[in-house]
Amino acid sequence: MPRPCCCRRVVAKPPCGLFKPAGVPCRSLEEIVLTLDELEAMRLADLEGLYQEQASGRMNVSRQTFARIVESARKKVAQALVEGKALRIEGGVIEMANMRKFMCYECKKEWEVPHGTGRPQQCPECGSVTIHRHPEDRGGWGWRGGRGRGRCLRGGGMAAGSKATKSPEA
């Protein structure tokens, strides 16, 4: 009996779940199912241009598993394009990535980015670099506020006798 699939982290669901050749009714087309994790693998590798090691970390899978997922996805998309089949996007063993909320101090714009994608460098609205985590998003990881007075309990800092862990903002 094969091992069960581990959960793969996905940033977001696609805006539409079906792509088909124009002018052909869907009922007369064969469908190929592309899973959400396969779409995420293609997004990371082909759209963002990440190396497999980086992309596998974002999806919470091994590099070898990522390579198999992206290979399967590319084959399905190529088959749909070449053979004129419909491509349905659904399913897969996934977990949705947590979102982090940021705010610009200049224009007061608020926006969200997926956990694990790195800190934004500037505001998408005005281009300002004075951006910070949104006040309501600062809870959960031991954040205490102030300038150097608190210590991070589960994040980037180390308390005496504790093990280092990944920062929640990294």
3-state secondary structure of 118: coil
Average pLDDT over residues 8-31: 86
What are the CA-CA distances from residue 154 to residues 10, 107, 161 (Å)?
23, 32, 13
CA dihedral 58, 138, 165, 40 (to 10 degrees): -10
pLDDT for 138 equals 58
Please list, residue by residue across 68-93, b when 16 or more beta carbons sit within 10 angstroms of its beta carbon and e when fewer do: ebbebbeebbeebeeeebbbbbeebe
Query: What are 40's two structure tokens?
Result: 């995420």
- Residue 99 banded pLDDT, cuts 50, 70, 90: confident
Residues in CB range of 90: below 8 A, 6 or more apart: 17, 33, 35, 36
pTM: 0.61
pLDDT at 11 over 80: no
Q: How confident is the model at residue 137 (pLDDT cuts 50, 70, 90)?
A: low
